Amino acid sequence: MAYDYDLFVIGAGSGGVRASRLAAMSGAKVAVAEEYRTGGTCVVRGCIPKKYMVYASEFGSAITHAKGYGWNVENATYDHNLFMDRMHREIDRLSGIYARNLRNSGAEIIEERVEFVDAHTLKLVMSGRTVTAKKILIATGGSPIMPRDVEGIDLAISSNEMFHLDEIPEHIVIIGGGYIAVEFAGIMRGLGARVCLVYRGETVLRGFDDDVRTHVHDELKRKGVRVITHASPKAIAKDDGKLKVTLSNGESVTADKVLFAVGREPHTRGLGLEKAGVKVNDKGAVEVDGYSRSSTAHIFAVGDVTDRLNLTPVAIREAQAFAQTEYMNLPTQFDHADVPIAVFAQPPVGVVGMTEAEARRQFGQVDIYKTRFRPMKDMLTGDEERVLMKIVVRAEDERVVGVHIVGPDAPEIIQAVAIAVKMGATKADFDRTCALHPSIAEELVTLREKFVPPELKPV
C-alpha cells in the first residue's frame, strides 16, 4: 500500500519536533500536525515563559538585597505590561525558530487538529481531508487538570492563563502543592501579590525527598505565602467583585484570581485512539514499551502523553531514541534513571537520583550526608534563607544514589552533579574531588560526617 507519508507526527512540541526533524533528515517523508503553536507546552506556555516570570519576580528581592552591598535603588517600579510584551515577543521568536527548523529539515507542518480514522488514517478536522501514514508518532503532551467536581470551577484559571495575565492580582489563591503550584506561588509573591496556597496534603512537593519538601515548605511560609494544608476547594463563587473559595476544612478565602495547579493529564481525549487499537492506561496515557511503541505496532508515543517522566528533555531524548531506532538503524532505548530535575521555586530545587526513602526501600542500609547553611551572599543582606544539601549513599559500596539541593543556582549545580551520579560515582570520588572555593557547590565535596538522626544519637 502506498501511504501519503512515511511518518505522521501529532504534536509539534519538543518531542514531536525532534523526532520529525531527525526522521525527515534521514530521508523519510514527514508531516507534523499542530493545533495550537509550534514549540508545544515548554516553549509557548510552560518551561520558557515560566522561567522568564521567575526571573522577573526575583528582581524585587535583588533590589532590596543590593542595599547590603552599598547600592541604593530608589523608586523602583515594575511594569507588568512591558515585561509581558517582551516575554511574548521572545516566545514568538522561539516558536518561529521551531517552525523554521522543521521546514528546513524537509518536514511539512499542518496547522490543524487531527483525529484517527483507523490505524493508518488520520482526519484533519478543520479541512476534513484525510491522510495516511506508514508510521504515526503521538506527541501531544499534557493538559492542566481542571476538576469538574468543584462548583464554580469555570471561575478559576489554569497555568495556561497565568502567562497572559493583564495585571498582577492583589491576592491570588493557588490550589495544589506540586512544582507548578510552588513555582507560581513564588512568582506571584515576588511580583507583589498576596498568595494563599491550598494543599490537600501535609507538605508540598509530593514525591521529592522529605528534607527537600520540608525546606521548600518552610521557605514558602517565611517569604510570606499563606499555606493551608489538609484542605481542598469545594466551591468558588463571585463575591462583591472578588472570588470566594470555600474549602473542605470549613474555611473560606477571598481573592482576585484562583489558580488550579493540581497536576496535568495526558492530552489524548478526542484523538480517537480506540479506532487505531492504541491502548491507554487509567490516566489516559498511551501505554508504550521501551522503544516507545504502543499496542499497535506502527504507532508510537513520546513525551508527557506517555506519563513516564514528564520533562521536556526526556521527551526530546525519547524522540531521538525513536528516530534512531526507526530511521537510522540504531536501536535505542532511553534510560529514565538518574534524570536531573529542577523546581524553580524560590529558592530553587535541583535533584538527581533517589530520595532517602526510595534508597532505604531498595537497598536497606544507606548513609546520609547533609548540611544547612546561609549562603555567603546573604551574609551582607540580612536574608535568613538557608541552603540545603543532601547526599544519599548506598552503604554496601558507597555509590552516590541521590543528590538533593535547595538554594541559589541549585538547577545549574545539579546538571553537572548528574554526570557523576549517572556514571556511578562513589562518596570517595566526591571526597577526593578538590573543592572550588568560595562557592555553594563546594559543600558537596567537603561533607564528611554521616548524618545521625537526633533520636539515634547516644545520650
Determine which one of 120, 217, 404, 437 is catalytic: 437
How far is residue 296 from each of residues 30, 115, 263, 279, 293, measured CA to CA in Å?
19, 16, 28, 8, 7
Torsional class of 135: left (φ above 0), alpha (ψ -120 to 50), beta (otherwise): beta
Whether 88 is catalytic is no
- Helix 210-222 vs helix 356-363: angle between axes, to the nearest 10 degrees? 170
Interatomic CA distance for residues 313 and 219, integer angstroms: 28
Interatomic CA distance for residues 301 and 319, integer angstroms: 8
- The residue whose grid cell reads 526501600 is 361
DSSP type of residue 434: P
Question: DSSP secondary structure string, 388-432?
Answer: EEEEEEETTTTEEEEEEEESTTHHHHHHHHHHHHHHT-BHHHHHT
For residue 329, give every residue at least 6 positions away whose Cβ sits within 8 Å of its Cβ, in sequence order, or none.
Answer: none
How far is residue 351 from each of residues 183, 337, 397, 459, measured CA to CA in Å?
16, 12, 21, 34
Quick count: other Cβ atoms within 10 Å of Cβ 317? 21
Rg (CA), the chain: 24
- Pick the closest to residue 118 from 109, 131, 137, 129 (CA basis): 131
Interatomic CA distance for residues 7 and 305, integer angstroms: 18
The residues carrying an active-site annotation are: 437
